[in-house]
């Protein structure tokens, strides 16, 4: 089966995932079309992060299926490296490589993994640093950058692989309030350029602004979903209402 | 937390309280010797020297061989003991450390292999040599190794001191193996995940991302083991290898074995080892503190 752009770029069907006896995903399904921006919200422990970590194979699943561009993620014959070239991921704790400068962090994967020409990669990496508004910080080490700056380097690092889908796992949760905005602006730029983004976030205002579709998860299931306008104003499920009531 | 095959045990849960208790974080760090030595005040060698001068006068005041004569003998032997004795100890320690480090690095990497038999085998070898008395290892190597090898149409003789080097490098290898394994495991698993999600292979992650972060944190324990190894080189005198202690004994014999010679000669040996290892210990603890703050 070859994938075409009119099919979901990421398709999650009835996914079950447990850690030992603890079932964290109990049959979650959702589809993401190319260029869409999806926000997954919900109380902590509801399985949001686990879900997006399953998309690039960082977590395995016990049942159901996940496909990225038509390729099943959870089969033994999966080419994990091929999948991860298509799917970029940004983490809550940035996870930059502390022994490399910001520019080297961005350049490393394209040079070492994709074996691209170093000079070309450097030019692209500098452009990406500019894009995330970190011009002049190329030679700084992660330890010398603020949380927000590190997170933007992490985004540039992921973008350097030219992914088709970007996963954002609570990327602003560890940041100071004043640096949250600079990261959100970066993500908003990306979304505006048509990048397919799947975000786990607690920033409701941001979700409302950028998302094409919002999914609310609680205790391992998707309780409710819809476009932001209807979701935030017409949420019908009592669990959604309770959550939104606490957060907004 | 995610499980990195070969690196850590499977997390049964994402909830912190349900995670397995991290035993490694709660055992002594193996810096006991260096910490003790570095804690000594700088004037310790001078105090030792004073004790050397004073002790024989009290103990052997009635003897006809004076302390002055004993120190006179030491003075005459000093250049020889230093050049033929102590430098040989240093040579043995440097060679044993080199071999032990190379073999230990390989063994440590084998301990985090994906292949279960390799992991189990290297763990067993590490524990075996780490927990055996050094002297026993020395004797085993001395007695079990051939004194000559027939190869390339000729006979290559293996001198005893080479066997001593090999014998000492075994416990060093095992301890360096643990240092390497521990350092790799001390890098947060998030680093593995970040690299994995950038499509790095396991081998690339280990060599390009994890190990480069380990070198710094491996340096202090590595230096700690070098100091311990150097202090252990006199064990070679029991094998008849002509290092500082062997030569000191021979020198005392040629000076008619007066008991007054014991403290000056062995005290001199002690001072030499102290002078060599003390700066290493101080530097080790300084680096340890410096690197501990970072990361």
Chain B residues touching A25 at Cβ < 8 A:
none
pLDDT tens per residue across span A71-95: 888 888 888 888 999 999 999 999 9
The predicted structure's pLDDT at residue B295: 41
3-state secondary structure of A147: helix
Q: Could you give all domains of chain A from N- to C-terminal order, each with its CATH number?
A: 10-247 (3.40.50.300)
Pick B196's closest partner by Cβ from A58, A88, A108: A58
Pick A99's closest partner by Cβ from B13, B195, B212: B212
Residue B41 inside a domain? The answer is: no
Residue B280 inside a domain? The answer is: yes
pLDDT tens per residue across span A93-106: 999 999 999 999 99
Number of domains in chain B: 1
Residue B126 inside a domain? The answer is: yes
Verify whether the Cβ–Cβ distance A22 to B13 is below 8 Å.
yes
pLDDT tens per residue across span B212-238: 999 988 888 899 999 999 999 999 888
Residue B115 inside a domain? The answer is: yes
pTM of the predicted model, to two decimals?
A: 0.81
Segments forming the whole domain that contains residue B87: 54-293
Residue B12 inside a domain? The answer is: no
Check residues B256 and B12 and name the one with the higher pLDDT.
Answer: B256
Residue B10 inside a domain? The answer is: no
Q: Write out the residues of chain A at the interface with chain B, using a CB-CB cutoff of 8 A.
A: 19-20, 22, 24, 45, 49-50, 53, 56, 58-59, 80-82, 84-85, 87-89, 91, 93, 95-99, 108-109, 112-113, 143, 154, 157-158, 161
What CATH number corresponds to the domain at position B197?
Answer: 1.10.3720.10
Chain B residues touching A53 at Cβ < 8 A:
2
Question: Mean pLDDT throughout B267-287?
Answer: 88
Chain A residues touching B213 at Cβ < 8 A:
97-99
Predicted confidence (pLDDT) at residue B21 exceeds the cutoff of 90: no
The predicted structure's pLDDT at residue B203: 93
The reply to whether ipTM tops 0.95 is no
Chain A residues touching B199 at Cβ < 8 A:
80-82, 84-85, 109, 113, 161
Residue B31 inside a domain? The answer is: no
Residue B38 inside a domain? The answer is: no
Q: Is B17 on the interface with A (CB under 8 A)?
A: no
pLDDT tens per residue across span B66-122: 777 878 888 888 888 888 889 999 999 999 999 999 999 999 999 999 999 999 999
Residue A52: closest CA among chain B residues belongs to which residue?
B197
**Quick one: pLDDT band at residue B26, thresholds 50, 70, 90?**
very low
Pick A20's closest partner by Cβ from B13, B193, B201: B13
pLDDT tens per residue across span B34-46: 888 888 888 887 8
Chain B residues touching A81 at Cβ < 8 A:
199, 201
pLDDT tens per residue across span A101-146: 999 999 999 999 999 999 999 999 999 999 999 999 999 999 999 9
Q: Is B295 on the interface with A (CB under 8 A)?
A: yes
Chain A residues touching B206 at Cβ < 8 A:
none
Pick A91's closest partner by Cβ from B14, B190, B201: B190
Pick A93's closest partner by Cβ from B190, B208, B213: B190
């Amino acid at each position: 089966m070859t994938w075409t752009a009119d099919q979901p770029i990421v398709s999650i069907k009835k996914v079950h995932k447990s850690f030992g006896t603890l079932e964290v995903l109990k049959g979650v399904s959702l589809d993401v079309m190319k260029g869409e921006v999806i926000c997954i919200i919900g109380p902590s422990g509801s399985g949001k992060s686990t879900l997006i970590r399953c998309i690039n194979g960082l977590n395995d699943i016990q049942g159901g299926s996940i496909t990225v561009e038509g390729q099943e993620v959870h089969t033994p014959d999966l080419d994990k490296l091929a999948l991860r070239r298509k799917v970029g991921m940004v983490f809550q704790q940035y996870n930059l490589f502390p022994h490399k400068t910001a520019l080297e962090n961005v350049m490393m994967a394209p040079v070492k993994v994709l074996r691209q020409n170093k000079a070309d990669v450097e030019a692209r990496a500098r452009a990406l640093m500019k894009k995330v508004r970190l011009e002049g910080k190329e030679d700084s080490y992660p330890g010398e950058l603020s949380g927000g700056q590190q997170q933007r380097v992490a985004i540039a690092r992921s973008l350097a692989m030219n992914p088709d889908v970007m996963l954002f796992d609570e990327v602003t949760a560890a940041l100071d309030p004043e640096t949250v905005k600079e990261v959100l602006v970066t993500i908003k730029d990306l979304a505006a350029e048509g990048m397919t983004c799947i975000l786990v976030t607690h920033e409701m205002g941001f979700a409302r602004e950028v998302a094409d579709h919002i999914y609310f998860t609680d205790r391992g299931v998707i309780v409710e979903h819809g476009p932001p306008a209807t979701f935030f104003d017409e949420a019908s499920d009592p669990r959604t209402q309770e959550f939104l009531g606490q957060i907004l | 937390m995610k499980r990195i095959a070969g690196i850590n045990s499977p997390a049964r849960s994402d909830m912190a309280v349900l995670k397995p208790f991290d035993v490694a974080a709660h055992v002594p760090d193996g810096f006991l010797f260096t910490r003790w030595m570095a804690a000594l005040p700088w004037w310790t060698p001078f105090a030792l020297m004073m004790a050397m001068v004073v002790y024989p006068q009290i103990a052997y005041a009635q003897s006809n061989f004076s302390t002055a004569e004993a120190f006179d003998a030491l003075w005459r032997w000093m250049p020889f003991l230093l050049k033929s004795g102590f430098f040989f100890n240093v040579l043995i320690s440097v060679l044993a450390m080199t071999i032990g480090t190379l073999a230990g690095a390989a063994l440590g990497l084998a301990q985090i292999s994906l292949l279960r038999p390799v992991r189990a085998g290297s763990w067993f070898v590490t524990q075996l040599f780490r927990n055996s008395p050094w002297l026993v290892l020395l004797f085993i190597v001395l007695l079990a190794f051939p004194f000559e090898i027939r190869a390339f149409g000729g006979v290559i003789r293996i001198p005893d001191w080479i066997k001593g080097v090999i014998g000492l490098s075994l416990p060093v290898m095992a301890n360096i193996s643990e240092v390497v394994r521990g350092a790799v495991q001390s890098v947060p698993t998030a680093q593995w995940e970040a690299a994995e999600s950038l499509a790095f292979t396991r081998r690339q992650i280990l060599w390009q991302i994890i190990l480069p972060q380990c070198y710094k944190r491996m340096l202090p324990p590595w230096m700690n083991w070098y100091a311990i190894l150097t202090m252990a080189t006199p064990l070679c005198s029991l094998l008849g290898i002509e290092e500082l202690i062997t030569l000191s004994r021979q020198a005392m014999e040629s000076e008619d074995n007066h008991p007054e010679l014991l403290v000056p000669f062995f005290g001199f040996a002690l001072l030499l080892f102290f002078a060599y290892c003390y700066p290493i210990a101080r530097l080790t603890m300084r680096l340890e503190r410096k690197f501990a703050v970072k990361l």
